[in-house]
Structure 1
Amino acid sequence: MTEPPDDRDANDVLRSAGSDGLREMFDRAERKVIPLRDVVEPSQQSLLRPISMARWDHVAPPEPDWTVFQRIPRRQTALFSGEGAMGKSTLLLQLCAAHVVAKDWLHTMPEPGPAVFLDAEDDQDVMHRRLASVVRHYGVTFADLANGGLNLISMVGQDCILAESSKSGKVQPTALYNELLAFVGDVKPAMIGLASAANFFAGNENDRSEVQQFIGLCTRLAIVANGSTMLVSHPSNTGIATGSGVSGSTAWHNAVRSRIFLHGVKKQSDSDGGEPDNDLREIEFMKNNYGPRAERLTLRWQDGLFLPEKGKSSLQKAVQEQKEDEVFRELLQRTRAQNRTVGPNTGANYAPAIFADEPEAKGMGHARLKAAMMRLLRNGKISIEEYGPPSRRRSRLVIT
C-alpha cells in the first residue's frame, strides 16, 4: 500500500484506504505495537508539560517576588474593594505614581517602574485633580510622572469590556483586552490599575467558573508585563455588613493572591451614636498568600489624600525586625564558634535569654529576640538540630 501524500490529513487517508486497507493498516499496527499517532496524525502539540524538578536538589527555593513588598505579589492580580467614594481610585493613582517616582506608599516602597491606570469611571479632569494632590505630596511634577512612565487612560462613557462570557460559560477576551495586553507587553509596567471590575467584566459575578476565568485574564496581563494587576471592585450590601468586602461568588476572594478592603471608621465617642468619621479610613490587607496577613492601617484625609496616621510605620517595623534578625544570627554564629550551645526551648541555654545580655542586643529584650528567632526559623535562616545520645536527646540552634 502506498504512503499517503504529505498534504493529506488522517481522514483523507482513512477514506481512501477502503475497508481492506483499513484492516491491513490496523493489523500491521497491532503486530508492531506502534503508537496510534503513527496511524492517525496528531492535531497539535500537547499542552501538558510536567515541570522538571531534578535540578531543585541543587537550587535554593526562590524568595517571593513583590511589586509592593509583602502586600502585592508580582505576576498576580490583587483585588481592591470598597464602597463608592471611599478613596480607592485616589489610593490606586497614588500607588501608580509611587512606582513611577520611587516614593513611599502607605509605609512601603513599591518597586520602581512604569505604571498603567485604566479608568472607566472618571474622566481626565478628575484624574488631574486627584493627581495634583499626589504631585504636591511627593514634591514632584506632572512632567516627572510622564517621563517616569505613568500612563493614564480614561474610558468613561465608552465600551470598555475586557472580557465577556459566551452561552457555554467560557469567558472570552475582547479586542480591547488584546490591545491592552499588547500595550502592557511593550510598556512592562510594574503596576496595572483597573477601575473597576463591573465596567470591564461582562459576565456573571456569581458564577465561580466565569469569575476565575476573568481573574485569569487579569493575571495574564500581569505576567506579560512582569508586574502586578490591581482590580478595583465594589462590595455588595452583605459584603459591607459582614466586613468581608466582597460581592458575588467566593471566587473573587479565592482566585486572587492578594485582597485589600478599604472602609470607613466610626467615631469612638458614645455621644455621637457611632457615626462614621468622614476623615478616617481603614485599609485591611485581607488576603496575602505569600506574606503576612491581616495588616491594618488607619488613614486620615490630609490635603487631598488619605495618608497613614502617625505612629511606627510598617516600613520602620520591617527595618527594625531585619536588624534584630541580623543580631540574632551574628550572636548564634559567635556562640557556635566558641563551642557554646544555645537552644530554642526555655531553660539554662535558652537563646533569647542568653543573647539579651550581649551588648549588640542592648534594648531588644527576650520577647523581641524570641520573635527574631521564630522569624529566622520560619524563613529557614536557622534550624533546630538534635544531638546527644539516644537516651538523652537535646535540641540546639544552628545556622542553616
Structure 2
Amino acid sequence: MDFEDVEREHGGEAVRRAIAGADYLGRSTAAKAERWTLPIIDTTRWSAEPPERRWIVPGWLARGTGCLFVGEAGVGKSLLAQQLVTAVAAGKRFLGLETVQVPTLYVTCEDSDDELHRRQQPINEAVGINRLAAPAALSSLAGHTDTALGALDGEGRFQLSPVFDGITAAAKQHGAGLIALDNVAHLFAGNENARRDVAAFCSALDRMAIDCDATVIALAHPAKTEGSEFSGSTGWSAHVRQRWFMERPKDALDRDARVLRKSKSNYASSGDEIAFRWHQWAFVRDADLPDDQRAEIAANIQAGHENERFLACLEKATEERRATSPNRTASNYAPRVFAAMTIGKGVSEAGFAAALERLLHLGTIRNGERVYQRDNRAWVTGLALAPTLAPTPAQTLARERTETVAALRDEPAPTCTHSPPPYYVGEGGAADGPPPSLRLYVNDAPTDVGGG
C-alpha cells in the first residue's frame, strides 16, 4: 500500500503521520520490509581488559557523558563554569583538583560577550595564567529567543534542533573535550515535571557527549523547596550519570563561602565536597591564599558577625525598653548586657566591645539617643541606631533662603520635605522699647517655652 492508498483509506492525517515517520527514520514507511533493528554489541571483539575510564577532572567529571550542575540563583554557577573550562583548557588545577588538559567550549544563554570578558581576567589570576589569556572557546547566545536543544514532536519523538547541531559542530571543530551549557532553563523546551521530556533531554546531552567525545555539563537551578538539589521530575537525577551541587554553607558566618558537592557519580564515590570562597571576582580555596590574606579574611568575617549580632541585640533591647550604655562602669554596659542575651550567644563581651567601637566609629550607632519614654513621658536615652535622615545646617539655611525669597516675591513658600530643627525667634526689641524676648519654635509651631 503506497501513500495514495493510505490517503484514500484513512485520510490526509494518516499521510501526514506517515511522512513524519519517514523523515524521522530516514526511510519511507511504505517499505514494510525494512524494519529498525536493535544494535547488538559484538563482544567477541572485546579485549581481555576493558579500556580505562577517561576523566576531565579525575574522580569528579568523567569524559563521554553528561553531567548536571545545579545551584541556587546567585550562588555563582556561571562564574564557576567559566573558571572550570578555563582551568581545563589551560591544564591548571580546578579548586585544588587535578585536570586533564583538553580544549573546552562554554556556551551561555544569559551573559553577554562583555560580561564574559569582565569575568575572564579575575578567573585567569585565580587559575594562575596570564590575565589577558582566553584559553577556552566562549560563546554567548544572550538575547537569542530560541535556544532549545530540541523538543518532542506531535508523535512524541524528541527532535534535535539546529542549535544542538550548531553546538555539536563547533565543539567538533574546536576539538572540545569539555562542553559547558548555561543553562537548562534556556536549553530545555519541555515540561521539567514530565519524566519522558526530561529523559529525552538528558539523552540529548549524552548524544552530544558521545558525538563529540566530550563531557557535557549543563547548569540548572533547584526547586524552591528547602534542601532540593534539582527542580521537577526525579528524572533529572536518575537520567544523568554524574551530578554536581553548589551552595552556600548553611549557618555560615561568611556569605562568600561556597561548597561544591559531588551529589551523584556512577563512576566514582559520591558525596565528596570542596570548600572554597568568592574572592576578588573569582573562586579560590582558603588553602591557596597567602597566610596574611587568609588571616585578614578570617578577622573580617569575625568582625562582621560581631557587628551583626551587636545590632540584633541592640534592636531586641530597645524593643524590650532597655537602654544600654557605652560606659564600661555602667550597670547597663552594652557589651556585658548583650553577651548575656540569648541572641548574643556565640559572641563574647570582648567581641561585643570591639563591635561597639567599630559601629560608633562608622556612625552606625550613636550614644545619647532617645530609646523609649517612661510613663511620665520622660525620655530615656542611650545607644541607638543613628538617624538616617538627620537635618543638616545646610538644609536649614537653604530652607530659610527659600522662604525669604518667597516673601519678597509675595509667593507662598514651597513645602519643605525635611523636618526643621527647633529654633528661637526674637519678638519685640524696638529701639525705644524693652529688650527682645525669644520664643521656641518646634516643627515651625511656637511653643509656650521662651527665653530672654
1:324 aligns with none
Q: Distance in 2 between matches of 1:225 and 1:144?
A: 25
Write the deviation string for residues 341-377 of structure 1: whole angstroms up to 9, x where unpaired: xxxxxxxxxxxxxxxxxxxxxxxxxxxxxxxxxxxxx
1:151 aligns with 2:151: no
2:49 aligns with 60
- TM-score, length-normalised on structure 2? 0.54
User: How far does residue 100 in structure 1 lie from its aligned partner after superposition?
Assistant: 1.2
Residue from 109, 112, 122 that aligns with 1:123: 112
User: How far does residue 128 in structure 1 lie from its aligned partner after superposition?
Assistant: 1.2
1:253 aligns with 237
Q: Distance in 2 between matches of 1:45 and 1:179?
A: 30
1:193 aligns with 180
Structure 1: which amino acid aligns with 2:248?
G
SS at match of 2:75: coil
Residue from 50, 58, 62 that aligns with 1:69: 58
User: How far does residue 83 in structure 1 lie from its aligned partner after superposition?
Assistant: 0.7
User: How far does residue 290 in structure 1 lie from its aligned partner after superposition?
Assistant: 0.6
User: How far does residue 174 in structure 1 lie from its aligned partner after superposition?
Assistant: 1.5
Alignment of 1:250-289 (within 5 A): 250-267=234-251, 277-289=254-266
- TM-score, length-normalised on structure 1? 0.61
User: How far does residue 125 in structure 1 lie from its aligned partner after superposition?
Assistant: 1.6
User: How far does residue 55 in structure 1 lie from its aligned partner after superposition?
Assistant: 4.4
Write the deviation string for residues 42-91 of structure 1: whole angstroms up to 9, x where unpaired: 654644121122344x5112322212111111111110001111011111
User: How far does residue 183 in structure 1 lie from its aligned partner after superposition?
Assistant: 1.7
Q: Distance in 1 between matches of 2:31 and 2:159?
A: 29
The size of the alignment, in residue pairs, is 262
SS at match of 1:224: helix
Structure 2: which amino acid aligns with 1:112?
Q
Q: Distance in 2 between matches of 1:299 and 1:83?
A: 16
Q: Distance in 2 between matches of 1:221 and 1:200?
A: 13
Q: Which runs of 4 or more aligned residues in structure 1 lie more than 4 Å from their structure 2 counterparts after TM superposition?
A: 40-43
Q: 1:43 to 1:117 in 2, by over 3 A?
A: farther
1:232 aligns with 2:222: no
Structure 2: which amino acid aligns with 1:280?
A
Structure 2: which amino acid aligns with 1:50?
I
SS at match of 1:193: strand
1:99 aligns with 2:85: no
User: How far does residue 135 in structure 1 lie from its aligned partner after superposition?
Assistant: 1.4
1:221 aligns with 208
Residue from 167, 174, 180 that aligns with 2:167: 180
SS at match of 2:185: helix
Residue from 134, 145, 151 that aligns with 1:164: 151
Q: 1:100 to 1:43 in 2, by over 3 A?
A: farther
The answer as to whether partners of 2:72 and 2:222 remain within 8 angstroms in 1 is yes
CA-based RMSD: 2.3
Q: Distance in 2 between matches of 1:131 and 1:47?
A: 48
Structure 2: which amino acid aligns with 1:287?
K
SS at match of 1:278: coil
SS at match of 1:277: coil
